[in-house]
A and B are shown apart, each in its own frame.
Chain A
C-alpha cells in the first residue's frame, strides 16, 4: 500500500473545525428554539418542531443537489472522486429525508389529527425517499462497481426532478401542507424572532451536513483504496498462478495459448 493511502483516515483539522462550529451553532439554535422563539398561538409547542423539520427538508434538497452534480461529473469525466461525492451525499440525503418524514408526521398528528395524508408535498417527499432507496439498491445489486456507479448516476440525475416538484407542490396543487414561509416570492413570512431562530438552525444543520459529508467522503475514499488494492492483488495472484503452472497443466494451457500470453511471448 502506498504511504498516501494510509493517510486517508488520519485526523483532519478541517473536519474538526466544522465539527466544533456545528456543535456551537446547533447549541445556540436549540436554545433559541426552546427559549428565545415565542410559542405560536394556535399550534402551541408543536410549532417548535418546525425548527428541525424545515432544516431537515433543506438538507434533503441540498443532498440531492450534490448527488445530481456528482452524478453529472461522474458520467461526464468518469471521475471516481465525483462518484464518491454522489454516494456520500446520497446516504446523507436518505438520512435527512427519513427525518423530514418522521418529524413531519410528529407535527401532523397534533395539528391535522393525522399521522399521514396523501397530499402532494408529503407524497413527493416519500417518492424522494424511495428514489434514494432505489439508488442504494441499484448500486448494491449491480454486477461490478463501475456499472453500479453508472446506474446510480443516471438515477441521481433523473431523481433530481423530484426536488423542484416537492418545493412547488404546495403552490401548484391544493395541499394540506403549509406554503413556504421563507423561500417564497414575497420574502420571509415570519416574526423576526422565529425567522432568526430558523436561520440559526439552518446554519447549524448545514454545518452538520458539511461535517458528515467530509467524514463520509473520507470513508468512501478508504473503501475505494482497499477495493482497488484487492483488485490489484487478485490480478497479480492470477498472473502468478498462470506463470507457475504444473507441466501437465502447462501442456493443456499451452495448447489454448493462455500460457504463452502470460509469459509475454
Chain B
C-alpha cells in the first residue's frame, strides 16, 4: 500500500482483445527469435504502465504468468500492479531468480552480471532480457551472423549500454547456457537469441 492511496486506482487496460493480441505478439516474437536482428512490430496494449515502452509491455503481457518471476531495474508500483493484475506474475528484488529481467533504461545495465545464464544441465533456466533502447534499425554498424541469418546482417541500436555486447559475445563461450535478449523501442522489438554471433564490423 502506498500512502497516497492505492496505485490500483491508476491501473490500465491490457490488450483490447487479449487472446488475439497475445497470439499475434507470440507469433511476432517467434519470427524475431528465428530470424535474429529482424525488427518486428508488436501489437500495442491499451494501457502502458509507468516506465515501460509499448513493446516491452506487450512482451510481458504475452509471456509472463504466475510461473515467471520478473525483475525490474527500478521500483515502479504501477508496473508491479499492472502485471500482477493482468498476468498474475510476481516481481522479485534480486535478478538472480528472474525468468524475465527488464531494463527500462538500456543505457544502464548494472546488474546484468547477476542475471541467471542457466546451468549446464538446465540451460533453459536462464533469464530472458528485455532491454528498452531508444531506437532500432535494420541497418547499422553492428554486424551479426548465426542460425536464422543467411550470411550477415546489420543492426542499428541507439541508447544501449555497451555491456550488452560483451554479454552477447560471452554467450558464445557459454553455449548452451546464455542469455536471450529482446531489445525494445516504441512498439518494435529485435530478438538476439543466444545463438547469434557478433562479427567484427571492420572485417566486412
B is bound to A: no
A residues adjacent to B (C-beta < 8 A)? none
Chain B positions near chain A (C-beta within 8 angstroms): none
